[in-house]
Structure 1
Amino acid sequence: MRVLTLVMLAIVALLQYRIWFGQYGAGDLRQLQADVERQAESNNALKQRNELLYADIEDLREAHEAIEERARNELGMVKPEETFFRLIDKDNNPQ
């Protein structure tokens, strides 16, 4: 009976060792959970970026003011008969 108890305890100890320290054990589970959390954060950031891009696309499709604003700000375009003035702040000029 005593030998049977020792054998059973040895089997339980071996199984516990495999659960906590073996391949696909608790350490691997924690690592996978951390990987999933990092990927979820990355996905959320990309989802927000995509939503902003979709909003820009809709804005450009629907509103002509958005196209004009982009042409003025990003390309430096002006309308015919319009005068462009560039004001430079005196404090920002290194001279």
Structure 2
Amino acid sequence: MRLLYFVLILILSLLSYHFIVGNNGVMDYKRIEREVNIQHRNNQVLIERNTALKNEILDLRNGYDAIEERTRNELGMIKEGETFYRIINDDH
């Protein structure tokens, strides 16, 4: 009878070990769940970035205001008839 209990406990222990640590066990499930959550966050960041880029493309295609803003900021261009003033802060 003691041998039967020992064998049953041994079998239960092995099954529990495989359930928790074994292939496709609880540990694998938790690891994969963490990886999926990380990927969801990365996807959300990329979706927001893509939306911003799509909006910028639409602005550039449909309006001259966005093009004008970019040329002023990035290329330093001014309109004809405008005067450009540069203010230099002299802290000396």
TM-score by length of 1: 0.81
State the match for 2:41 in structure 1: 41
Aligned residues: 92
State the match for 2:58 in structure 1: 58
Once residues 41 and 58 of structure 2 are traced to their aligned partners in structure 1, the CA distance between those partners, rounded to angstroms, is: 26
1:81 is displaced (CA, Å) by: 2.5
- Structure 2 stretches of 5 or more lacking a match? none
Shift in CA distance, 94/33, structure 1 to aligned 2, threshold 3 Å: farther
Once residues 33 and 54 of structure 1 are traced to their aligned partners in structure 2, the CA distance between those partners, rounded to angstroms, is: 31
1:36 is displaced (CA, Å) by: 0.7
State the match for 1:27 in structure 2: 27
Once residues 45 and 87 of structure 1 are traced to their aligned partners in structure 2, the CA distance between those partners, rounded to angstroms, is: 38
Once residues 2 and 60 of structure 1 are traced to their aligned partners in structure 2, the CA distance between those partners, rounded to angstroms, is: 82
What's the secondary structure of 1:67's corresponding residue?
A: helix
RMSD, aligned CA:
1.9
1:44 is displaced (CA, Å) by: 0.3
1:3 is displaced (CA, Å) by: 5.0
What's the secondary structure of 2:66's corresponding residue?
A: helix
Instruction: Work out the percentage of aligned pairs sharing the same amino acid.
Output: 42
